[in-house]
Structure 1
Amino acid sequence: MQIDVWGEDEGALLVCREIQDVTADVKTFLFEPTSPSIFQHEPGQFVTLQLDIDGQPVSRCYTISSPPTRPYLLGITVKRQPDGLVSNWLHDTLGPGDLIRVDGPFGSFTPGRSVASSYLFLSAGSGATPLASMTRTAFDLSSGGDIVYVHSARTPADILFRRELEHLTNLAPRISVHHVCEGDAPGERWNGLRGRLTPEMLRLVVPDLHLREVYCCGPAPYMAGVRAMLADLGFDMSGYHEESFSFEKLPVDEVVAVLDAQGEPAEPDAAPAALVDAPAAPTYSIEFARSGRIFTCRADEKILDAAYVAGLAPASSCGQGLCGTCKSTMVSGSVDMQHQGGIRPREIAQNKVLICCSTPTSDVVIDA
C-alpha cells in the first residue's frame, strides 16, 4: 500500500532519478521517494529544498512543475542564475542517485479541486512552472474547463516546455497555448506574437477574457504590468491570482517570497500616524535553548526579525509563513502565529511554530 511521502515532520528524503534539459539554462530535476510512497500536492504548490552547500545549510523554495496526477515522481524546473548559489549547485553538482531533503508542499496559488468554466494562464520566464503543473493536471484529468495559456519569453529558444505544450494542444482542443517572444533566437526567426504582452494581444487570443479565472506568475514587473493591463480592460480582479518568488538574488539568510494570492497590488505606504502618544508594545524574552542565546522581542515584532537584530541567523526562506523552513518547537510560552499554510495542524498541536510569522504574547523558549 502506498502512503503519502510528506508524512515526515522534518521533510521527506528523496532521491534524484533524472535530470532533463529544458532550455540551454533550464533543467528539470525529477525525484522519487526513498521508500514506497506517493506525492500528494495541488498543482501550483511549491516545496522547500533543505541543502548543505560547502558545509552551509541553505533552504530554497521551488514550484513543483510536475502534476499531482503523476504521483510517483516530483519535478522542479530550475533556471541557472549567474550569481545563484542554489541554482548553480543544482545544475553543476546534483546528479541521479543523489539524496536531498525536501519539505512541503506549501502554497495557496492553485485552483485546487475547484473547477472554473474557463481559465487564462499568464506567465513569463520561470513563472511557467506552476502553470505547467496546472496545465498538465487539466490535461490528465480531462477536466471540463478550457484553458488559454499565454507565455512570454525573450526568444523562442527560451520557451519552457515548448514541445510538450504543443503536443498537449494537438491532443486536447480545449487547451490553447500562445507564446509571445521579444526577439528571434539564433537559427530561428519568430513569426508568432512579438514584443511584450499587450492589451491588443489579449483581445486577440482571449476575446472572452472577462469570463475567465486568471492565474499569473512571473517577475514582479511583468505581474505589475498584467495587473494594470487587466484593470484597464475592466477585468474583475476578484478572479485574478498571482505568485512570484525571488530567492536566488538574495543572501542565504534574507530570502524573500513575494506572494499575493488574492491578486491585489501591494498597499502604498500608510499615511503618517496621528501625532499622539501611543502605548509602547510589551517586550518579551525569547530564549533559543540549545544555543543558550536570549534576546528581547516586542509584541508587535516577528520573532525571526528580532533574532536577526540580535545577530542570529535562524534558517528561513519565505518570511511569510509559507514554506516551513523556520519551523521550530516551542518549549514554553505562547505566540500569535499568522501563517499562510506552511505548518500543519498536527504540528501546531505538537507546539511547533513558524518564527517568521509569530509574535510573542509571553516570554518564549524555542528549541533552537
Structure 2
Amino acid sequence: MDPIETTVAAVREVGPDAVAIDLETPAGFEAEPGQFVKLSTEIDGETEGRFYTVSSPDTDETFEFTISYDPDEGGAFSEYLLNIEAGDTVTITGPFGGDYYEDEARVVVLAGGPGVGPAVAIAERALADGNEAAIVYRDDHPLHEDRLATIATTGADVFILSESEPLTDAVADVLTNDEGEQVFIYGFADFLEDANDAIEAAGGQPEEAKAENFG
C-alpha cells in the first residue's frame, strides 16, 4: 500500500512509559495481527519514520499500535509520537510482514517487552475466531495488563514473568506440539534467543515459529 494520511482517533496509557495509539483505518487498508506498518512524518524538513506492529485484533474502523519509550532517551521522532493527540494526522505505509495470524487452531505467543502488543492482538483474534490461545510474556513492567487479564478469563493460559525468570517452565506448560498449533515470538534479539531455547527444550521446533525481531 502506498503512503496514506490518516487521523489519530485516540491515545491512552497502557503501562509504565507506554501508550497505545488508535488510528482511523483508511479506506482499503487491512492488516492481520502480527503484521506491521511504517509510521512517518516530516520533522525539520526531513521525513522520519519507524515500524510498529499492529496491536489490535482487527482493523475494523480503527487499529492500534503500542509504543514503549525510555523517558531519558529518544530523538525527534520519539518526541513527536509522545506529543501526538487525537485529531492529529499521520502517514502510514503497509502493512508489511509475512509472519502473522492465519486462523491457526491454537496460537502460542511468546513476547518480550513491547512484543506484548502483537501478543494480545493475536490471542484476542484467535479467541474471537473460536480458536485456542496462550501467552508467555516477560517484562519487569508489564503493559496491557487489563487485556491480558481478560484473555486469561476466557480460559487461555497467560504467564507474566519478570526479566530474571527463565522461559523454560512456562513454555513447557503451554506448548502442546500438536498439529495445528502455531508459535509466535515477538521481542528483541536476546528474547528471541531465549524463546528458541525454551521451545527446543519443550520438544518443539523453533525454526517453525513465526517471529519478529525488534532489534
The alignment's TM-score, normalised by the length of structure 2, stands at: 0.88
Matching residue of 1:282: none
- 2:101 and 2:142 map into 1 onto residues whose CA distance is 24
User: How do 1:106-121 and structure 2 match up within 5 A?
Assistant: 106-112=96-102, 114-115=103-104, 117-121=105-109
Match of 2:203 in 1: 234
What is the CA distance between 1:239 and its match in structure 2?
Answer: 3.0
* Counterpart among 134, 149, 160 of residue 148 in structure 1: 134
Aligned counterpart, 1:243: 212
Partner of 2:165: 196
**Residues 208-233 of structure 1: CA deviation (Å, up to 9, x unaligned):** 53223211111101111111232233
What's the CA shift for 1:202?
A: 2.8
Residue in 1 that maps onto 2:158: 177
2:120·2:147 contact (CA, 8 Å) conserved in 1? Answer: no
Contact kept in structure 2, 1:46 and 1:64, CA below 8 Å: yes
* 1:139 to partner: Cα distance: 2.9
Question: Are residue 164 (structure 1) and residue 147 (structure 2) matched?
Answer: yes
Q: C-alpha offsets along residues 153-201 of structure 1, whole Å, 9 cap, x if unaligned? A: 11xxx2111112212322x22x22111124xxxxxxxxxxxx3223233
Residue 26 of structure 1 corresponds to which residue in structure 2?
Answer: 18
Q: Report Cα offsets for 1:116-159 as digits up to 9, x if no partner.
A: x3221100100111222211212333x23x111110011xxx21
Whole-Å Cα distance in 2 between the matches of residues 234 and 136 of structure 1?
26
Aligned to 2:35: 45
CA distances 1:285-306 after superposition (whole Å, capped 9, x unpaired): xxxxxxxxxxxxxxxxxxxxxx
SS in 2 for 1:209: coil
Q: Please say which of residues 233-242 and 209-218 is displaced more in the overlay.
A: 233-242
Separation of aligned partners in 2, 1:103 and 1:198 = 34
The secondary structure found in structure 2 opposite 1:20 is strand
* 1:89 match: 80
Higher RCO structure (Cα 8 Å, ≥6 apart)? 2
Aligned pairs (5 A) from 1:1-368? 9=2, 11-33=3-25, 37=27, 39-68=29-58, 70-81=59-70, 82-85=72-75, 86-91=77-82, 93-112=83-102, 114-115=103-104, 117-141=105-129, 143-144=130-131, 146-154=132-140, 158-170=141-153, 172-173=154-155, 175-182=156-163, 195-203=164-172, 205-206=173-174, 208-211=175-178, 212-246=181-215
Q: 1:137 to 1:233 in 2, by over 3 A?
A: closer
Distance 1:233 1:67, change over 3 A: closer
How far apart are 1:245 and its partner, in Å?
2.3
Contact 1:38 1:72 in 2 (8 A): no
Structure 1 spans left out of the alignment, 5+ residues? 1-5, 183-194, 247-368
SS of the aligned residue for 1:95 comes to coil
Q: TM-score, normalised by structure 1?
A: 0.54
Indicate the SS of the match to 2:214: strand
What 5-or-longer segments of structure 2 have no aligned partner? none
The number of aligned residues is 211
Per-residue deviation, 1:238: 4.4
With over 3 angstroms needed to count, the CA separation of the structure-2 counterparts of 1:165 and 1:39, relative to structure 1, is farther
Deviations 1:61-98 (A, max 9, x none): 11111122x5100211111134322223211x211111
Whole-Å separation in 1 of the counterparts to 2:205 and 2:152? 28
